[in-house]
Chains A and B, each alone.
Chain A
Amino acid sequence: MSTNFSELIKTGYQTRSTRRKSINVLMLSLTALATLLALIPLFWIVGYVIYMGAPSINLDFFTQLPRPVGMEGGGVLHAIQGTLIVTVLAGLFAVPPGVLAAFYASRYPNTPLGIALRFSTDVLSGVPSIVIGLFTYALMVKPMGHYSGLAGGVALAILMLPTIIRTTEEMLKLVPHSLREGSLGLGAPEWKTSLSVLFPAAFSGIVTGFLLALARAMGETAPLLFTALGNERYNVNQIVTSGLQGKQSAFQILQRVLDQPLDSLPLTLWKYASQPYPERVAQAWGVALVLMIFVLFVNIIARVWIESRARKLRG
């Protein structure tokens, strides 16, 4: 009786334990499968964009302006120039305030303003990019009366700001306390400690964060739809040469470059993709390839850098 009973328990235990073990194996392999499943679109997209985009990449693609629709050839020089202009502008507008705010957030994380700052940075990073586009439209385009590259730069700067604050703050936090204590102990004031000790120590991390933000901004379309708008006849070379011939000052030339609608690579892609002309669609794939290579390249560089840097700082 007693042996029977214990055997009963034993067999019951065995079937239960085999069931538990097989559930364990099943679920664990499902998680691996989920990871694989998520990577399929990545390889599919990257592979297909390379396959479709590579044929339209040639020298003209980078050095020519677009031809009228229906004609073969031509390039997207205007969009490359526009992308560079708006992202450089965005960097100029976003980096100084972003870095300063990060100094505040890392130095005084628990003051009311520090908490509010970190909270609003988090929230700002979740604001949809199209809403930022609408905001910049109301802020700049409407009062100025026309679309402009300048407004596009501002929109992208707002988009970049939270990323820059975040990464800079993280990097400043990684700088060892002994460094700032040493500097303060030697009698350097707070601002000098921040600028000539903390900032250089965290510099490469800050640059990386900036690059990541830049890569994200470069691929964004929605904030530019109602700010930079797009302009197929945009031509910096022509503006500059005609400006030089007309003996305009550098400021005037700069104003003419910035104060009109311009195109960027994502904007061009979006417009070309919906056009019924096959050569335009082919160019859209080319633009997608250029954009993707650039964004992925910057991302990989930045991550390698962050990784090595963080390892070094942690010691």
Chain B
Amino acid sequence: MKRTQTLSEISPPPRLRQLFQHGDMPWQIMLVLVSILVLVLMLAIGWMLWQTSVDARSAFGWSFLAPTADASWDPVNDQFQAWPFIYGTLLTSLAAIVLAVPISLGIAIFLAELCPAWLRTPLNWLVELLAAIPSVVYGLWGLFVFLPTVVAPLGAGLATLFEPIPLLGALFTGPIPLSGASRLGAALILTVMIIPTIAAVSRDVLLAIPPAQREASLALGSTEWETIWQVLIPYGLSGILGAIILGLGRALGETMAVTMVIGNSIESSASLLKPGYTMASIIANEFAEAVTKLHSQALIEVGLALFVMTLLLNMLARFLVWRVARKTPQEARV
């Protein structure tokens, strides 16, 4: 009798302990709550931008985002249409993707398939360092070094080369500004900045392909390149597409470097060689000094559009990469 009394004195009532499962229940609840918080954060970003751009959305409707030849962005008269920025973003990002994909695939193939083992780690690091340099440093270098030495002469060359061609010429209407500040400059800087992303993800995709695929192809007499091009790339195609889309997402949202080199002017010209704006750079440039309520709301709506674009792209990319990972059996990956 006496003994049971002391026991119940030492330990808390069994019911309570059972209820908390020796402290596991609070722990579980905390983990679940924090995880839900992360989910909520993502939803909150969309909801908050939607909520704070309400007046701009009701004032301009869909015509805000619609393609028009003579869009107005007029803070004084409160007239806003975002097409020039959407066009600038799409043009620079797509140009960057076109340039970056072959180079990144080359790097991925070299790192995953060809590179001697002693060189692999340092090269991996160097490529990843390229992604670690802050975006403003890219911008500073771009503005003072890259634009005058590379972009301006290159732009002039492209103008003389492509301007006479009927359809393509619209993209290369010159002359490029003397400073070199143009959409072309932005596209080239973006190329450098997204190469590490695409290269690293495609390298991982290639490394995830089972060695049996390579061995079978080589045993049938293919050369190394034929193995890579006709066996490995098709096998990992959806993962590589995912990598490219991830890179595109990066390019769409990149702000500081682009803002510093794109020249920041609202252009009606479709040319790559003219200065322009992207969605991110107009926000960076004007939001802190937005004149009217509608002006800042219009900028937030641009941000909302950007958010939705990157969200959809990211979902697509993750889905594609995930499909490759699922297709590859676990034991074959090591």
Contact = CB atoms under 8 A, between A and B. Distances in A.
Contacts of B129: 42, 296, 299-300
Interface in A250-298: 266, 269-270, 273-274, 281, 284-285, 288, 291-292, 295-296
Nearest to B30: A100
B249 interface: yes
Interface of B: 21-24, 26-28, 30-32, 34-39, 41-42, 44-45, 48-49, 51-52, 102-107, 109-111, 114, 121, 123, 125-130, 132-141, 143-145, 192, 195-196, 199, 223-226, 228-229, 246, 249-250, 252-256, 260, 280, 283-284, 287-288, 299-300, 303, 306-307, 310-311, 313-315, 317-318
Contact of B103 (A37, A126, A266): A37
A34 interface: yes
B36 to A, nearest CB: 7
A192 B23 contact: yes
Contact of B22 (A107, A142, A189, A221): A189
B39 to A, nearest CB: 5
B246 A126 contact: yes
Contacts of A41: 130, 192
A123 B253 contact: no
B35 A131 contact: no
Contact of B311 (A28, A44, A127, A296): A127
Size category of the binding interface on chain A: 35 or more
Contact of B106 (A35, A216, A288): A35
Nearest to A32: B110
B125 A303 contact: yes
Interface string A51-79: 01000000000000000000000000000
B217 to A, nearest CB: 13
B140 A288 contact: yes
B126 A127 contact: no
A267 B111 CA distance: 36
A269 B137 contact: yes
A114 B229 CA distance: 37
A220 B307 contact: no
Given A23-B225, A122-B318, A134-B300, A219 B288 contact: no
8 contacts: A34-B103, A120-B41, A124-B41, A131-B49, A138-B300, A273-B143, A299-B128, A307-B121
A38 B249 CA distance: 20
Nearest to A42: B130
Given A128-B253, A128-B280, A219 B135 contact: yes
Given A41-B192, A123-B42, A269-B140, A104 B284 contact: no
A107 B195 CA distance: 34
A46 B310 CA distance: 30
B132 A216 contact: yes
A119 B229 CA distance: 31
Interface stretch (A4-12, A172-180, A196-204, A222-230): A222-230
Contacts of A52: 144
Interface in A206-239: 215-216, 218-222, 225-226, 229
A134 B299 CA distance: 9
Interface string A97-119: 10011011101000001101101
B134 A113 contact: no
A35 B138 contact: no
Given A21-B223, A128-B252, A288 B137 contact: yes
Nearest to B299: A134
A189 B128 CA distance: 40
Contacts of A190: 24, 27-28
Contact of B136 (A107, A119, A269): A269
B132 A296 contact: yes
Contacts of B114: 28, 31-32
A60 to B, nearest CB: 21
A85 interface: no
B69 to A, nearest CB: 27
Contacts of A42: 126, 129-130, 133
Nearest to A273: B140
Contact of A117 (B39, B144, B311): B39
A189 B24 contact: yes
A139 B48 contact: yes
B107 A38 contact: yes
Contact of B123 (A35, A137, A215, A266): A35
Given A45-B138, A296-B132, A35 B34 contact: no
Given A48-B141, A131-B45, A104 B199 contact: no
B240 to A, nearest CB: 14
A299 B125 CA distance: 9
